[in-house]
Structure 1
């Protein structure tokens, strides 16, 4: 008999910590604000059609208030940039840069790299809107300092138009979905000095296909400049603007935690080899079987890549495992082991995993599928073949035993 042990190996690896230093050249002092955006992919075997990242960024900015439910309903995700400053308004009824005005940049691509440095993917970032809060610094202006009418080039998403507290908060959502360059402006802003007490980004991420990514953490950074008219900033807040910070470093963290589950039937720790159809041909007619074998069924669920390797209690030089006669002195018998995982392929060769031989000397293959596979019927096939069978039959009544460990490493 053969003792077969299945185990799922979860290797722990040291991660390199990468320090990024952003140098910005320009006139005067340039301060930077840092904000963090995170998302995760953690598939559920009970919901295999879910194949998108989930935004895990804590709510901040105008959505993290009485407007939270509206933001959730519309899939708006605001994040406070921590940009603060002042704006001098001029009452020009022309939707122009003197008023409540925000010009926004086109989409961009950010490279996100795994913590081990082994994989890099592209993350799409689109600014689909922005929010700003202006508060009358001297408290001597009108209770409603800005137009409550429809903005130009954008839709009004959120507003405090009914607050009447000498402040104006507006969240604009761009009509172009963040695909180009857009300037959103109100019809007018009263002439006065206003504190910029909040400036938020509303963004959309186009994430990589998570099934192609290995489990791990992926990080990347992009930088936006915020300023006034004529400064060439990514975000233009119009004329009369002075800011405490004018650079926003946006740090992205994508976490991929693939699902992996191996379901083994009872008795899978022991395999007894026998001829197909039993021993009657040998015992009744003296016809030697061509092979002694056993097929071990199991089911496998996986949304990502994994490695398979082999360990033997009694390894042979050619990479196969051996079973030993524990009753009397006899030659060791080589054991052939083959793996079949329907729907999976070898990432290096593209070959389907059908009857793949397993040895201790092979480079452990990285196996993957193009879809999230759920409880797929799979099998391991153990056999002693050819002359090795005749060698065993020369020792009737003997028992042969050996241990085999098949390792499924879900974090290759």
Structure 2
């Protein structure tokens, strides 16, 4: 008995990249671009995370002692040299209200934003928070940087190099006589961090803003191939999300993050040479029937193939001969019998009900194989297609000795779920 199968895969390599772009025609805007990508890594299949590919800047990228701490905290730094803020008047010595001096409050709590697949309308949720803040500040000399010496601090740099609570130090400071660059870690949900000056400062400016952000992205293994886009907008200025106190007035009034997420999935099926020609045989071959007339219980073939998958997919079947909800075989006299086809998938792949896939029947209506999803990236693992004619139908075939039953089965792996 022979069976010819056509095995095909309908999946384009898919991609997940994350890009942040923003602009506003009605308000001054703080503009950044952030990109990240998910691409399955055969060398590390358990890592199912996005990789941030934004050109990094500032302390987290350029200051070697800070780099491992930023990586450990899973934060990513950006230095925006287009940002500026200026004092609206002098900063009085020893202000009783921290909002009247060097004051920094950023949106360190998690914010949700929805991203929508540009093709299907599928919606996912991304979370973002600001996890670090820094700047370059400038002031006249005199008083120079010594303006930040107070009775409580032995040196002007104590809190700029360290960090005032609730911020945390990364131990970075670069300074001259009349300027300094600093950076602090901002814990989740922290309030404002401020530094008091002991001498009046006639004017004060920030000529860049540095920040670190942290992202929580969806599970890419459950997302479709393609791009997802969405926006998150922060206010900037006194009382805003980015708040620099009542004296410092930023040139920007809005910070809008426009996300574009893209996923690069892999769905690859490798059939061994000759694996598309299936010969159905009894257990142990035909000798028991030829020598002793013992009827076989079934005719079958288990065809192994190799599978790599990082995305959801479904399996479908098409037939040259349809019998009910499955395929059939026919001999030259027109006698027909149904053929049962099933699939077993490796560990790491499950169905839509979180069940393992073991000899799952393939049916023409697609029921039972409409969704398979990875728990992890499955890389080049063995799977099996099962082909079988059962006992009752084998008996029918044996009534026509000397004939050959054949048919064509097309098995489809489709990532467009």
Partner in structure 1 of residue 196 of structure 2: 187
Q: Partner of 1:38 in structure 2?
A: 35
TM-score normalised to structure 2 length: 0.81
Aligned length: 388
Equivalent-residue separation in structure 1 for 2:37 and 2:375 (angstroms)? 19
Note if contact 1:306-1:411 (Cα within 8 Å) is conserved in structure 2: yes
The alignment status of 1:203 with 2:204, answered yes or no, reads no
- Contact persistence 1:32–1:245 (CA under 8 A): yes
**Selected match of 2:240 from 228, 233, 236:** 233
- Aligned mate of 1:125, from 124, 128, 140: 128
Alignment of 1:284-363 (within 5 A): 284-312=291-319, 314-325=320-331, 328-343=332-347, 344-347=349-352, 349-363=353-367
1:89 CA drift (Å): 4.6
Q: TM-score, normalised by structure 1?
A: 0.82
Deviation for aligned residue 1:249: 0.1
2:78 matched residue in structure 1:
79
Match 1:407 to one of 405, 409, 412 = 412
1:379 aligned residue: 384
Deviation at 1:227, TM superposition (A): 0.7
Q: Deviations over 1:226-283 (max 9, x none)?
A: 113xxx2112112322333210001223333334343433331211111112112221
Secondary structure of residue in 1 paired with 2:180: strand
Distance 2:366 2:247 in 1: 69
Measured in 2, the distance between the counterparts of 1:267 and 1:212 equals 34
Q: What CA RMSD, in Å, does the superposition of the two structures yield over aligned residues?
A: 3.2
Q: Distance in 1 between matches of 2:60 and 2:86?
A: 22
What residue ranges of structure 1 are gaps of 5+ in the alignment? 14-19
Does residue 172 (structure 1) correspond to residue 184 (structure 2)? The answer is yes
Q: Give, in angstroms, the shift of residue 392 of structure 1.
A: 3.0
Task: Name the SS of the counterpart of 2:168 in structure 1.
Answer: strand
Change (3 A) 1:152 1:32: same
CA contact (8 A) 1:298 1:379 kept: yes
Change (3 A) 1:158 1:169: farther
For the structure 1 residues 141 and 21, does the alpha-carbon distance in structure 2 shift closer, same or farther, using more than 3 Å as the test?
closer
Distance 1:239 1:337, change over 3 A: same
Answer whether contact 1:125 1:203 (CA < 8 A) is retained: yes
